[in-house]
Structure 1
Amino acid sequence: MMCQGTVLFFKFIYQEFYETTSAPEQGTLFQLRNVIHRVDVSGGEGAVDKFRAHYAFIMDCLDAYILGATMKVMELECLDGMPVKWRPPPLLKTAEKSDQYQWLTKLAQEILEEHVKLDKDKNLTRMSEVAKEMDTQTLSVQGMFDDDLQKFVCTCGKQYKNLGFFKRHLVNKHNWLFRDDEDPTADTCTSECKSDSVANYRASFMKNALILRDTYDAYSMCDGGRVVRNAKFEFLCADVRKHNKYKLWLWRFMAYVIALLSPKQAYEYMWNCASNTIGGIGRNIPNDNLVELMVQLVKKKIREQGSNFTYASAVKAALSSQVQDEIKQNLQQEIQQKTKGKSRTKTNKSVDIEVMVMELIKGNLFSYIPGREFQSFRNFQDASERVNLTKLHTWVTKQKERASFEML
């Protein structure tokens, strides 16, 4: 199951956390891949070509990281042991669902705070505040531009043709503070304050893998709200990795929902992000996938025609393929015939996950040791730390100007 945003985020995770080396270090994705012998996982560009194998590997690694973090929080020596902390209350299995959910939620929140959340995540809040200030300044400066004079006119009467000179005048004479040269994500930590790059790697991977899982589930459930929310994180990752095509697509997707479409159109656009072809809850696929499936179906019809293929026959195949497929499925359901190729055998991965958990614990990935780092990921930083807000704001401002006369 892939769409534009999922493909981007999927590639981003492998670019960030999968590094092939001759001596893989304990706890890295490449080392875990070797330990459980996932020979069909190669990372890099091969991740998209073999999506299912690579996605399954990332989800198995995420489960292993979550179990390892849980063992650390509950002070478990092994997966079958008795926890020292967070011991389940008596008769939890027979308690009300709401009570079970409340206890699990508190445990999950503890794991999230201790092992997933990064100190640098607060930069996202600060970046949002700074971006709002920059938007206000940009609108104020644009409001001082006189269309008749084709100049920027200050309240003191000074006129400037050049935007840079006008900004310098506002700074020097009117005490304006522009954040163009300020990096809101700058690290103020001195050399004496060394962070644990291994812990940063672990927390960053868990955070991004959880977003990937949530995005995958959002499309499965056709949850437009989650798709839009996660697109904001994917947009930042696209900017960090210089994926301009995906960044433009994600920005326009959010622009349509937030600003360009009417409320009714935005609601329809957001909640029609996926389609269901076989029925059932959680069986939706992104519209990109549906288009690709229909294209492959039309190509198959055209190949079957052989030398009898014409433009008119191709048009008929394109117009009738979906209807024919629906009729076929309805007939199969009526005669209670099992549809071939609609389900896959589920494999038991518990052994692989348990092996990975033990590797992570041996590597001491769930402890905080200042100064340590992976040789393959020196000075590791989360994507949120590497966002250049000044350049990103300039890019978004230009896209807003283009949207005012290009889009819709």
Structure 2
Amino acid sequence: MLENLTTKLNTLLIVNYLCRPHQQFLEDVTDSYIVAACLDVMEEGCSNKNNIEFVEKISQKVMDCFNLGVTENSSISRIRNDLEAIHADEQKLFAMRVNDHYQCALCGKCFTSLVWFKKHLTNKHHWKLHQANTNEHCNNAVGQFLFMSLLFRDTCDSYKMCDGARSVCNAHFEWLYDSALKHSKYKIWLWRMITYTLSILGFRESFEYKWNISVNLNGGIRNNIPNDNAVEIQVNNIKRELNTQGANKSYESAKQICMTTQVIHAIKQNLMRTSRTAKSKSTRPEADKSGDIMKMVEFLRQKGAIKNVCWNSFQNFREPLSGINAEELHAWIGEQKRIANMFM
């Protein structure tokens, strides 16, 4: 969805994609939609001398304008209600489980299969088990894109600021989107991240997990990177040192490098600090992207208010979260719980 929407902006006239990294270009596109949406609500009259209150009021108006909040009619509320109802039905069924079979509390008949037991209750005793609502609702593609843009920018900012609580909070939404779009690897990773902080770890360990969710390599604010990126950097450093040994590398030499790489780097940094040695720049200078964003915003504003923008390619758009099957998701959660019980 993100790539398709960006192609609508006549990108060849705005950004030279051969020179601009793909990630930065996506950030420009998401920022342009957010800026354009803020300009729409600002024109409706929203001013305040206090900058914090001004930004808060603007953001709230954007959320209300696109119905981006978690309301009773949103897909997130529907999924939550379905999961709660399915879980309640499951508890009633397992209350009638005896050893390795199910025994009907009304007639005493036994079943070894849960599926046949459910059919017996619905057909014979007229039980009404909850059926998940699978009706897909058509939504504005731009509104959903804006929601994901805000989620993306907020998650990036939370890692840069080492705000673990915000990262975990956003992980709930990201997990739902991964569930809807069938990204199995990230779905499991985010699920484990959430369960560790909320259920498995104690209060103190959970706080430390959030506190150390990112690491700062260069110093200064907003220079933190996620821990998995730091591990990747360390692995590349180890590989680089190991390749210098040529044919002489072995398991023992790799083990020695793993144990000494960080220590040697710390000693080197300490010597450079003591001798006041100038450190060579290894980071790229920040590019001024305001011109690109301004052109994108101008292009979007030509279409009118952002909430009314409709692309022809997305006439049959369906909200991603509306495609989540609550019964399948509940079964997946139950399977993950069983796996956790086996290894803990």
Match of 1:241 among 181, 192, 200: 181
CA contact (8 A) 1:373 1:379 kept: no
2:41 alignment partner in structure 1: 73
Alpha-carbon distance, 1:373 to partner: 4.4
2:88 alignment partner in structure 1: 136
Deviations 1:337-377 (A, max 9, x none): 343244321121111111101111123362537xx5422x3
SS at match of 1:232: helix
Mapped to 2, the partners of 1:36 and 1:120 lie a distance apart of: 40
SS at match of 1:18: helix
2:322 alignment partner in structure 1: 385
2:45 alignment partner in structure 1: 86
Identity of aligned residues (%): 32
Deviations 1:312-342 (A, max 9, x none): 2222111110111122222223333343244
Aligned in 2, Cα 1:310/1:373: closer, same or farther, shift over 3 Å? closer
2:78 alignment partner in structure 1: 126
Mapped to 1, the partners of 2:336 and 2:183 lie a distance apart of: 16
Q: CA RMSD in A?
A: 2.6
CA contact (8 A) 2:83 2:330 kept: yes
Match of 1:396 among 322, 333, 336: 333
Match of 2:105 among 152, 155, 159: 155
Mapped to 1, the partners of 2:275 and 2:54 lie a distance apart of: 46
SS at match of 2:288: coil
SS at match of 1:152: strand
1:231 alignment partner in structure 2: 171
2:63 alignment partner in structure 1: 112
Mapped to 2, the partners of 1:215 and 1:233 lie a distance apart of: 11
Letter in 1 for 2:203: P
Alpha-carbon distance, 1:389 to partner: 1.5
Letter in 1 for 2:312: F
Mapped to 2, the partners of 1:228 and 1:401 lie a distance apart of: 23
Aligned in 2, Cα 1:60/1:323: closer, same or farther, shift over 3 Å? same
Aligned in 2, Cα 1:275/1:123: closer, same or farther, shift over 3 Å? same
Aligned in 2, Cα 1:318/1:363: closer, same or farther, shift over 3 Å? same
Mapped to 1, the partners of 2:46 and 2:233 lie a distance apart of: 49
Deviations 1:207-236 (A, max 9, x none): 111111111122222222122221111211
Aligned in 2, Cα 1:343/1:335: closer, same or farther, shift over 3 Å? farther
Aligned in 2, Cα 1:245/1:124: closer, same or farther, shift over 3 Å? same
Letter in 1 for 2:322: E
CA contact (8 A) 2:40 2:306 kept: yes
Mapped to 2, the partners of 1:335 and 1:402 lie a distance apart of: 54
Mapped to 1, the partners of 2:218 and 2:330 lie a distance apart of: 43
1:250-329 matches, cutoff 5 A: 250-329=190-269
Letter in 2 for 1:289: N
Mapped to 2, the partners of 1:315 and 1:211 lie a distance apart of: 40
Aligned in 2, Cα 1:143/1:337: closer, same or farther, shift over 3 Å? farther
Instruction: Answer yes or no: is 1:18 the counterpart of 2:3.
Output: yes
Deviations 1:288-335 (A, max 9, x none): 111111111111112222344333222211111011112222222333
1:34 alignment partner in structure 2: 12
Alpha-carbon distance, 1:131 to partner: 0.8
Letter in 2 for 1:61: V
Mapped to 1, the partners of 2:16 and 2:103 lie a distance apart of: 65
* More displaced stretch, 341-350 vs 387-396: 341-350
Instruction: Name structure 2 gaps, 5 residues minimum.
Output: none
2:30 alignment partner in structure 1: 62
Deviations 1:160-214 (A, max 9, x none): 222112112322444432234x32x5247xxxxxx6x6xx221111111111111
Mapped to 2, the partners of 1:152 and 1:161 lie a distance apart of: 6
CA contact (8 A) 1:116 1:207 kept: no
Deviations 1:14-60 (A, max 9, x none): xx2213xxxxxxxx30132323133248xxxxxxxxxx822222221
SS at match of 1:275: strand
2:287 alignment partner in structure 1: 347
Deviations 1:369-395 (A, max 9, x none): 7xx5422x3411222222121211121
CA contact (8 A) 2:46 2:54 kept: no
